[in-house]
Amino acid sequence: MSKLKIIFIMLAVLAVPFSCKTQFDELLDNGDADTKYDAAFEYFNAGKYPKAAKLFESLALLTGGTERDDTVQFYWGLSNYRAKDYYTAETNFEKFLQNFPSSSFSQQAEYLRVNCLYMSTLRYELDQTPTYKALTALNEYLTNYYGSVHTDAVKRMIEDLEDRLDRKAYENAKLYYKMEDYKAARVALRNVLKDDSENRYREDVLYYTAMSSYKFAAMSVSSKQKERFLVFSDDYLNFVGEYPESRYRKELDNLYNKVRKHLEK
């Protein structure tokens, strides 16, 4: 076989992958607006959201300024939302609301945008910057659309995110307790309630505050113990005054009785 023929065969083989366009690729690259429009909704209704999103994105260049413009832009965002690409979908909906504030899709787009922000938040252990951004948007939505069909869902999202922030503050302060730095733990825990007296973990915060003061006193030299056990006594009385039926009550009662006997000697 001649070298020329071998080169020709190799080039032909290498060219095969580049010539095998799928029907979808052909539609995406060369389809007219009407064909793409119908196909985009067919893919969307079939639950093939990534492909639908690509077609709506392609259509956005063809339908700008037409009566289909807001529909295409909205479903582009909705396709990304259904595909769980919340970052891209939020960008889609934000742009949509800027361009079509009076569209019949606007209220739904606003809800989906804030829901995307909620879905993009992170576990309480991680950075909570997205949580603050989502909370601001959710509260704005609640103010603007209170009583809408999404009101209860938005309230639940707000509740969840506020709980996440409260838990992060509580767990961060509790780290000092876990590290057995009880003096720092008491200060950090008290600061949690100083910053937010309505923290959802208030009972736990007050419990660990009392436990921190007890353990700090118990580990102190004898000349410092009386003063520091009195601090524990104050923390104990604050706790039982607020949570007389707490699951922590029995444990703290035992420690308080032990401290009283110690102080009476």
Q: Indicate the range of 56-60, 153-157, 260-264 predicted with least confidence.
A: 260-264
Whether 201 and 220 have beta carbons less than 8 Å apart is answered as no
Q: Does domain 22-115 have CATH number 1.25.40.10?
A: yes
Of the two residues 23 and 75, the one the predictor is more confident about is: 75
Instruction: Report the mean per-residue pLDDT for the chain.
Output: 92
Mean of pLDDT values over 102-107: 96
* Domain spans in the chain, listed from the N-terminal domain onward: 22-115
Report the Cα 68 to chain-centroid distance in Å.
33
For the stretch 121-172, pLDDT in tens is: 999 999 999 999 999 999 999 999 999 999 999 999 999 999 999 999 999 9
Residue 228: its pLDDT value, please?
A: 96
What's the rounded Cα separation, in Å, for the pair 75 and 87? 15
> pTM for the full model?
0.84
**Please, how many CA atoms are within 13 Å of residue 207, restricted to the half-sphere of its CB?**
17
For the stretch 202-237, pLDDT in tens is: 999 999 999 999 999 999 999 999 999 999 999 999
Residue 48: its pLDDT value, please?
A: 97
